[in-house]
Amino acid sequence: MKSCIKLLIATLLVLNASFGYSDSRPNIVYVLIDNWGWGDLSAQGGNIQTENIDEFARQGLRLTNFNVQNQCTPTRSALHTGRLPIRSGTYKVPAPGEPDGLAAWEYTLPELLSDAGYGTALFGKWHLGMTINKLPNTQGYDQFWGHSEGTNASSYTSTAQFDPSVATVPYIWEGVKGKDATKVRLFDLEARAVMDREITEKSIDYISKMAKSGKPFYIYIGLTHFHPPFLVHPDFENKSKAGVFADTVMEVDHNVGQILEAIKVAGIEDNTLVILTGDNAAGVFPAEGLASGEVSGSNGPWRGGLSTAYEGGMRTPAMVRWPGKIPTGKVSDEIFADLDWYPTIAEIAG
């Protein structure tokens, strides 16, 4: 049977001949952007230039028919398990107080890669379990820094109605495999504004360290933009002169560019598979932090958005680069889904 990656490439009609694996297994970098509308990058019609992301797309394969679940939690579940979220009870974003998270017996992608000898790390948003026994460091990640629930949780403590007996006080956590995670600091609006900068910096440090070690690694980078509340790092406040959403687009493009540059500087660009996708579409409702009438993202020509079952809610940008394995400058409209990454990455890792 053809391997998943060969099947993917053949299906997408971008590889003319089969290929073999080198003795050195590739590093794998997965960058997930939250609530990323199909039309939010300039290569797909966006009004705000995303130069770094567009250039990355030209260096590999851009998927214009990449399909996900319609909310954050189920897509992240599909990516981590390769299973339909309804199979694991993670088919929607849990409300405060509802049961949440993956069961301990789910065999996650980072567990598989860890068992195969990869170093594993997650920086950023998790959203697959809030309790101490369901955080990323209990699900296969050697190390973890980030927050455990939806980014909207950062605004909880700022509201007059907040009741800690109903909704848990949100924190930023860090942890390592084999030990309980610990609280770093409150995840509030102040922390939310600088969150993606911190995620990027920690990811860059990890990439640099692992490149020097010579051990293959898998890093999952869960950026928090474009999820409400819309706040940007001070360096990007009013940088676009077109509102906070445009500022956010600029910050996302900058952070992605920094991560890609770190891979290049580390000298591992040719042996690193980089995947960049969204987790679901942009919202089609007024979002916290946006000015009255300000647009909160574009789903391109597709009907619907976040939390809907229309194509606008379940198509999101996606692109992948693997120098020497995936030809450059390719675009495909063949169907590919979040569920497909698990077996594909597993095959690549041998």
Residues with active-site annotation? 72, 127
3-state SS assignment for residue 103: coil
| Integer CA distances (angstroms), 196 to 252, 304, 305, in order | 8, 27, 23
CA distance 172 to 146: 5
CA distance 2 to 100: 36
What b/e readout covers 153-187, taking b as 16+ CB neighbours within 10 angstroms?
bbbbeeeeeeeeeebeebbbbbbebeeebeebeeb
CB 270 within 8 A of CB 27: no
Does residue 187 have a cis peptide bond before it, meaning omega lies within 30 degrees of 0?
Answer: no
DSSP 174-222: EEETTS--EEEEE-SHHHHHHHHHHHHHHHHHHHHHHHHHT--EEEEEE
Two tokens at 85? 């979220």
The amino acid present at 330, given as its one-letter code, is K
Two tokens at 119? 């170093």
Does residue 229 have a cis peptide bond before it, meaning omega lies within 30 degrees of 0?
Answer: yes
List alpha helices for the chain, DSSP H: 4-11, 51-58, 72-81, 85-88, 109-115, 189-213, 244-265, 311-314, 341-348
What b/e readout covers 291-301, taking b as 16+ CB neighbours within 10 angstroms?
eeeeebbbbbe
Two tokens at 215? 């051990």
CA distance 113 to 108: 9
